[in-house]
Amino acid sequence: FAATIALAQTDIKRVLAYSTVSQLGYMFLGCGVGAFASGMFHVTTHAFFKALLFLGSGSVILALHHEQDMRRMGGLAKYLPITYWTMLAGCLAISGIPPLAGFFSKDEILAATFGTHALPVSMGQILWAVGLLTALLTAFYMTRLMGLTFWGEPRWAAAHAHHGKDDVHGHHGEPKESPPSMTVPLMILAVLSVVGGFIGGFAPLHIPNRFEAFLEPSAGLKVLGKQALGHLPVSVEWMLVWASVAAAVLGIWFGWVRYRRGLPENERELTGVRKVLYNQYYYDWLMVKGVGLWLGGRIANWMWQFVDVRLVDGLVNGIAGFTGWVGSSLRRVQTGYVRNYAFTILIGAIVLLVWLLIRGASAGLAR
């Protein structure tokens, strides 16, 4: 769901934001099939390359004087070489290209999903197919991000001149690489994105998973049991590895073919399916106007009419009315004449005397 939304976003940070939502789905998928350590491993590798990509996007935005629309970028590879090459490493890592970090963690989750015994028969294979499709979409929209930002002809000069951003921000000339305070962390994160996956081992080659061993006391299969994770034959594991790599390569190839020259002409305006994806399937509109205003308004109106007016106000007004009625009734005996009060006392005394006589007679008969 989130991966398809990322396909049509034009804001570089929104692409990465929806990518993060998509990768969270991988983490929950791993935990859902019992591969808790694999899910946590993807959290770790994802921290490497997604931090790299967000910081790299910040470097691009800084170079373009706070421009975030990728349609107004392009051709930045030669102007921001460190940002470009480090973001390219992050792009390949999140796409699942071996031997980068994302490949190992994604492969673990997909293999665990394919062979899980924690779900009904064939459900694991269906979820594996969904995960594989998501891997292809991830590789495609990340290649799209790189193409629109760094490849093709520069579009930022015309965009900035049209919007007057050079004059507003006081910047002139070509984009410049970010200072070391940004490029050094980019390079460190790029190294981690390349080699960070080796701490997780590799099952087809029988390389031990030191990360899983480290998490065993807290992330072991204490709830589902060891039988929840199936043990796949080595041939099946290699088949899953090649399928995962093929999906990543195919997604990158599709992205390269479409975006290697920068922004395609038919994507300059949002129309058709791209408009639907750009607007997140109109989920926000549905939640705000559909559920929030229409359904929520009717529920609020019913709560006001029934709960507030009839129950709450009715109870409060009822108590107040009863109190007023009691007060009005008692007010009639407050005449201010002594003779009336004396008469009332006499009547009370007679009633009390009669009650005592009846009680005494009843006690005598009981004996």
Q: Tell me the residue range of the domain where 284 lies.
A: 280-332
**Confidence band of 224 (pLDDT split at 50, 70, 90):** low
Specify whether 254 is located in the same domain as 287: no
H or E segment to which residue 82 belongs:
helix 81-95
Mean pLDDT (whole number) for 11-30: 93
- List phi, psi (to 5°) of 176: -120, 150
pLDDT band for position 225 (50/70/90)? low
| Poorest-pLDDT segment among 93-102, 220-229, 261-270 | 220-229
Q: Is pLDDT of 101 > 70? A: yes
* Predicted confidence (pLDDT) at residue 166 exceeds the cutoff of 80: no
Please check whether residues 218 and 262 belong to one and the same domain: yes
- Same domain for 131 and 217, yes or no, is yes
Residues 6+ apart with CB under 8 A from 102: 45, 46, 49, 93, 94, 95, 96, 193, 197
Rounded average pLDDT over 302-318: 85
Taking residues 214-221, what's their average pLDDT? Answer: 70
| pLDDT, position 159 | 57
Q: How far apart are CA 352 and CA 345, in angstroms?
A: 10
State whether 139 and 236 are in the same domain.
yes
- Coil, helix or strand for 118? coil
Reply yes or no on whether the pLDDT at 167 is more than 60. no
Mark whether 73 and 59 lie in a shared domain.
yes
Q: Which of 262, 278, 294 is the last residue of a domain?
A: 278
Banded model confidence at residue 206, pLDDT cuts 50, 70, 90? confident
Residue 59 has pLDDT above 70, yes or no: yes
Check whether residue 239 and residue 313 sit in a common domain: no
Peptide bond between residue 233 and the one before it cis (omega within 30 degrees of 0) = no
Element (H, E) at 27: helix 12-32
Same domain, 98 and 174: yes
Q: Based on the fold, state whether residues 16 and 106 are members of the same structural domain.
A: yes
Q: Do residues 95 and 180 share a domain? A: yes
- Rounded to two decimals, the pTM is 0.75
The reply to whether 202 and 264 lie within a common domain is yes
Tell me: do 25 and 80 sit in the same domain. yes
The domain total for the chain is 3
Residues 222 and 315 in one domain: no
